[in-house]
Amino acid sequence: MNKVLVTGADGFIGSHLAEALVRAGYDVRAFVLYNSFNSWGWLDHCGEDVAGKFEVFAGDVRDPNGVRTAMKGCDSVLHLAALIAIPYSYHSPDTYVDTNIKGTLNIVQAARDLGVSRVIHTSTSEVYGTARFVPITEEHPLQGQSPYSASKIGADQIAMSFYSSFGTPVTIVRPFNTYGPRQSARAVIPTIITQIANGKRQIKLGALHPTRDFNFVSDTVAGLMAALRTQRGVGEVINIGSNFEISIGDAARTIAELMQAEIEILTDEQRLRPDKSEVTRLWAANEKARELLDWRPRYGGLDGFRRGLAETVGWLTTPAHLGRYRSDAYNL
């Protein structure tokens, strides 16, 4: 199989993707963020069937020389490395421009110079902002309602500009709200689960009315791998979503039901986004992924959402995993 570079391989989605690629027979080089602890993030806890079967490169996507070095000898790259927390982008926007936009520029520039055959760039549904129509197709206007989403719009445009200008074989995969094992407590689903698992019955959340199209992590990974396997997505932007929306409030109540807990939801002011920045509705159209990638969500609809939540609850409530989360603290 081809040698594949995965940036952000130490993170939530990236670690699942790196493992899946190894299991599928790919030669994987995992790009992780350099740190003095020599930590590989979630890859430190990868499956026993995967351990020792991938190469690790520690660096920073903001550094063009490191990116170029990491990419040498690779046939394709799946670019996931990014800063993703929306609240943190309010007070540290410079880091989002440097990591998300400049980092993506470094990826596509190196890919162009080295003749890489495929670049799969990971976008986000946040670039759409609040839905003007649903379900949201890839033709929906882009709206930068936070510094994070603005930086991802910029990253997407940089990536696609290299396809248009130089023929760099770029595919933009745009996942909607991914959830599942290993997700940070900065996201709403782990926030709810860990609070309940630690015995809390008054659950602190932000706005309850926004809707989201939640995508189980294995479906997101399958979409990225499907994009890697075909040439049909080159030069295209492709949504990966379940084609199902649910409000944050209803998601919280569904989790409580699965965990057999009676809860009261409290509004925590620090968790509220500014009114004009809050994305109030996301619901993915996924016909293009079906057509071009032959991808379909295995966890679609309410039934699929409940199955994905059950797997996530099972993982998070394992003592060894739950102990890694600070449920009593607000995580930006």
**Segment 302-325, tens digit of pLDDT:** 999 999 999 999 999 999 999 999
Task: Give the integer Cα–Cα distance in Å for 264 and 253.
Answer: 9
Rounded to two decimals, the pTM is 0.98
Please choose, from the candidates 66, 151, 134, the residue with its C-alpha nearest in 3D space to the C-alpha of residue 281: 134
pLDDT at res. 329:
87
For domain 181-212+245-281+301-322, give the fold: UDP-galactose 4-epimerase; domain 1 (3.90.25)
Instruction: Tokens for 40, please give them.
Output: 């590989």
- pLDDT average, residue stretch 95-124: 98
Q: Are 67 and 106 in contact (CB under 8 A)?
A: yes
pLDDT higher than threshold 80 for residue 279: yes
pLDDT at res. 328:
83
pLDDT at res. 295:
98
Q: Is 249 helix (H, G, I), strand (E, B) or coil?
A: helix
**Segment 286-295, tens digit of pLDDT:** 999 999 999 9
Domain regions of the chain by residue span: 3-178+215-240, 181-212+245-281+301-322
Hey, how many other C-beta atoms are within 10 angstroms of the C-beta on 212?
Answer: 24
pLDDT higher than threshold 90 for residue 332: no
- Would you call the peptide bond into 319 cis, given omega within 30 degrees of 0 as the criterion? no
Architecture of domain 3-178+215-240: 3-Layer(aba) Sandwich (3.40)
- pLDDT average, residue stretch 17-33: 98
- pLDDT average, residue stretch 84-89: 96
List CB contacts of 29: < 8 A, sequence separation 6 or more. 3, 4, 5, 6, 54, 55, 56, 57, 70, 74
List CB contacts of 202: < 8 A, sequence separation 6 or more. 263, 264, 266
**Segment 122-174, tens digit of pLDDT:** 999 999 999 999 999 999 999 999 999 999 999 999 999 999 999 999 999 99
Hey, how many other C-beta atoms are within 10 angstroms of the C-beta on 241?
Answer: 29
Residue 331's pLDDT band, with cuts at 50, 70 and 90, is: confident
Mode of pairing for the β-strands spanning 118-122 and 170-175? parallel
3-state DSSP helix/strand/coil percent for the chain, to nearest 5? 40, 15, 40
Q: Are 155 and 106 in contact (CB under 8 A)?
A: no
Bridge partners, residue 77, by sequence: 5, 119
